[in-house]
Amino acid sequence: MTDPFAIGDDIGPEKIVLIRRPAVGLQAVVVLDNIAAGPAIGGVRMAPDATLEECARLARAMTFKNAAAGIPHGGGKSVIMADPGMAAPDKERLVRAFARAIEELAAYIPGPDMGTNESCMAWVRDENGRAVGLPAVLGGIPLDEIGITGFGVAVAAEAAQEYCDLSLDGARVAIQGFGAVGKHAARHLVERGARLVAASDTGGTVLDQAGLPLDELIGLKAAGKSVTDLPGARVEPVGAAITAECDILVPAARPDAITDANVVQVKARLILEGANIPSSRAAEQALHDRGVLVVPDFIANAGGVICAAVEYQGGTEATAREIVATKIRGNTEEVLRRARDTGRLPRDAATDMARARLDRAMTYRRYR
């Protein structure tokens, strides 16, 4: 295993906790990357092959995402090295053991991530009193159900219009990954006058320049079907949403969707990164050089974590919506203005903005 002291720089990690409870088969890592702005919010990932390095990378990403979002929380992450598909009672035992093991780690507020969900967070809170992404009955705001991240993506699009000479009214939208983020981004963009012309999931892509029937597609997904089950639809392979004829592209599935190989075929003028790291650095540079505007992931998709922060303060869905709109609009405008004024990539402008906020927060720490 990597020497934990070899990981890090002037920002963090502040603390790395290795957890072993052989009696319950628990092996886990918590990385508190930086807590200058407040207790870290970051997901609990459960995967058999998760590593300390992965945890540290994800924790750093949360530090920047939370600093950019301007919420009073630092960045952290945890991984439980286990199979998330294990029998439910075993999973509950394991998650509860993890929650007890981090009871004293007050500067870490766990949330759901790959392999964990709102029930897991309910067990965590039952054990140690701290978690976000809770079931509604415990004061949670069901962020995927209400589609707060997709809402934020649409707000980012609104703010980006004047920086790419595009109007949402009549703009053609392609969504890669018609899931929690993608379908709600589509819904909110259509509400703002855009036309959905491409949508994909793991089954393939459906396309129609005249406009796809949004409600029907949402209904298909709710019934556990694929967008390609749309009757009479023109169906193409899974990668076709990325290269579809459109004005706005929302990659909302997995990392590395826009690559060196397919970037030349991207037709959109505005890309809103709903997924985390959907484009390689080289692809973002190539898009920038062509005048395609990219609103980076940790600005465009921050709705979820902002909502979690509101939930932690006991706020309501209505408050969350208001704060998400204000913050994402403000941040998108600031990042795109900085990028335009300096000619830099929006991602670099966003990183500078987050870093400046982090540095300011760090001046208030005793040991820095």
- Is residue 236 close enough to count as binding ligand NAD by CB under 6 A? no
Residue 201 near ligand NAD by CB under 6 A: yes
Q: Nearest to ligand NAD by Cβ — which residue?
A: 179
Nearer to ligand NAD, 143 or 323 (CB): 143
Q: Would you count residue 200 as binding ligand NAD (CB under 6 A)?
A: yes
Report the alpha-carbon distance of residue 317 to residue 303 in Å, rounded: 12
- Please tell me which residue in 65, 77, 221, 327 is annotated as part of the active site: 77
Distances (CA, A) of 97 to 24, 126, 178: 8, 11, 35
Window contacting ligand NAD (CB under 6 A); options: 33-41, 153-161, 272-280, 318-326: 272-280
Of the listed pieces 49-57, 162-170, 252-260, 320-328, which binds ligand NAD according to CB under 6 A? Answer: 252-260
- Is the bond preceding residue 13 a cis peptide, omega within 30 degrees? yes
Q: Tokens standing for 282?
A: 């080289």
Site for ligand NAD, residues 276 to 295, rule: CB under 6 A = 276
Distance CA 23, CA 238 (A): 44
Among residues 360, 299, 4, which one has the least CA distance to residue 368?
360
- Total residues found in the chain within this entry: 368
Q: How far is the CB of 164 from ligand NAD (least distance, A)?
A: 22
Q: Is 176 in the site for ligand NAD (CB under 6 A)?
A: yes
220 binds ligand NAD (CB under 6 A): no
Q: Which is nearer to ligand NAD, 99 or 143 (CB)?
A: 143
Return the CA Rg of the chain. 20
Applying CB under 6 A, does 178 fall inside the site for ligand NAD? yes
From 36-44, 195-203, 259-267, 357-365, give the range in contact with ligand NAD by CB under 6 A: 195-203
Residue list 8-27, contact with ligand NAD (CB under 6 A): none
Q: How far is the CB of 157 from ligand NAD (least distance, A)?
A: 16
In angstroms, the Cα distances linking 325 to 176, 202, 328 are 23, 30, 5
Segment 293-332, which members bind ligand NAD (CB under 6 A)?
301, 304
Q: In what order do the strands lie in the sheet with 293-295?
A: 234-236, 204-207, 195-201, 172-176, 248-251, 270-272, 293-295
Q: With contact defined as beta carbons under 8 Å apart, do 157 and 164 qualify?
A: no
DSSP class per residue in 287-346: HHHTT-EEE-HHHHTTHHHHHHHHHHTT--HHHHHHHHHHHHHHHHHHHHHHHHHH---H
Stretch that binds ligand NAD, among 75-83, 92-100, 251-259, 349-357 (CB under 6 A): 251-259
Least separation in angstroms between residue 229's CB and ligand NAD is 13
**Please, which residues have CB within 8 angstroms of residue 220's CB and are 6 or more apart in sequence?**
226, 227, 229, 230
* Residue 344 burial (10 A CB sphere; 0-12, 13-18, 19+): middle
Q: Which is nearer to ligand NAD, 167 or 262 (CB)?
A: 262
- Would you call 65 a catalytic residue per the annotation? no
The stretch among 164-172, 188-196, 199-207, 337-345 that binds ligand NAD (CB under 6 A) is 199-207
Please identify which residue in 79, 252, 294, 306 interacts with ligand NAD, judged by CB under 6 A. 252
Chain center to CA of 38:
20
**Is residue 143 a contact residue for ligand NAD (CB under 6 A)?**
yes
Which of 169, 168, 186 lies closest to 177 in space, CA to CA? 186
Please give the residue ranges that form the binding site for ligand NAD (CB under 6 A). 143-144, 149, 176-182, 200-202, 238, 252-254, 274-276, 301, 304
Active site residues: 77
